[in-house]
Amino acid sequence: MKRTPFVLPVLLLLAACQPAPPARWTGYAEGELLYLSAPVAGRVQRLHVAAGDAVTAGQLLFEFDPTLEQAASAEAEARSRSAAAQAANTDKGRREAEIAVTRAQLAQARSSAQLAASDLARQEQLLAQGFVARARVDDAATLVRQTQARIAELEAALAVAQLPARPDERSSARALADAAEKGLSQAQWRVQEKRQTAPAAGRVTDVFLRPGEWANAAQPVLALLPPTQRKARFYVPESELGGLHMGDTVRLACDGCGTPIEAKVSFIAPGPEYTPPVIYSNAQRQKLVFLVEARPVKAEDAERLHPGQPLDVTR
């Protein structure tokens, strides 16, 4: 009995040396769904996946009826070709056959000018011999001037025929061709957007529209949950928050999950809140807590988390 006073201090000392139990919090798994839609309206023609299917990045998910957009694309392509041809035409002169006619007329005019010059020389010679009147020489000289003027006219016409359109007309034609090309790009884009693929690997969680139903622009057709969008949400009491930082490693445990899942803290709420009225915990009481989120380190581990699933979180 005399040793009793010494037993209690020893027990207290041993208790103080024991390591503190690891921090333990409760929370739940959550998924940030991707609601996939098309930026254009249309009737759902085909669904290539069903709820629960695992898909890979780039896999075709659904298609809208592209009939109207394909027709518009064909029309825009024809308009683009027409505008491009008109723009190219303004860079050219007249047709080669038309230029050939002008060249033939010019050759004829030059021959006529040679004949007129020869006749003038002959008339001047006859005038000097006194065989013709002065009026005959004047007529021959007039004919020479007329043929020379005709040559000048045809030479100018030939030069003009080989010129392209005026700069303003060519600029206008090129602008119209560019506008038609942009219209074609828009039409082709609308055709492409009738087929939507998966932006990332994941699992289809829900399908909202079926083949034959009409979808407005940006109306979700299905929901996709990538592994990187699965996370844990849990609440940390204010008294324990100081020991938790962004990037810290935590372990997630759940019923039937097997080995704990390693996760990194990705978000800590900037302000406190009261304990939510519904939380997976055996003991509920009103106290200040901070919302914390953590994302699994490995994508294969993230697949083991199911949105709404209760979790136990430890350091």
- pLDDT by residue for the chain (315 residues), tens only, comes to 444 555 554 444 444 455 555 678 999 999 999 999 999 999 999 999 999 999 999 999 999 999 999 999 999 999 889 988 888 888 887 888 888 888 899 899 999 989 989 988 988 888 888 888 888 888 989 998 998 998 898 888 888 888 777 888 888 888 888 998 999 999 999 999 999 999 999 999 999 999 999 999 999 999 999 999 999 999 999 889 988 999 999 999 998 888 999 999 999 999 988 766 555 455 544 478 899 999 999 988 998 999 999 999 998
Q: Where are the domains of the chain?
A: 21-31+227-314, 34-66+194-225, 80-185
How far is the C-alpha of 14 from the C-alpha of 17, rounded, in Å?
Answer: 5
* Best CA proximity match to 86, nearest among 150, 21, 183, 175: 175
CATH 2.40.50.100 fits 34-66+194-225, yes or no: yes
- Residue-level length of the chain: 315
What fold, for 21-31+227-314?
Answer: Elongation Factor Tu (Ef-tu); domain 3 (2.40.30)
Tell me how far apart the alpha carbons of residues 135 and 246 are, in angstroms, rounded to a whole number. 115
Q: What is d(CA 149, CA 142) in angstroms, rounded to the nearest whole number?
A: 11
CA 10 remoteness from chain centre: 73
Neighbours of 67 (CB within 10 A): 12
The runs of H, that is alpha helices, within the chain are 4-17, 67-89, 96-129, 134-161, 167-192, 299-302
Using CB atoms within 10 Å of the CB of residue 268, give its burial: 0 to 12 exposed, 13 to 18 middle, 19+ buried.
middle
- Output the pLDDT for position 204: 97
Predicted pLDDT at 70: 92
Domains 21-31+227-314 and 34-66+194-225 share a fold: no
Considering the entire predicted model, what is its pTM? Answer: 0.68
Beta strands at 54-55 and 202-207: parallel, antiparallel or unpaired: antiparallel
**Which amino acid is present at 233?**
R
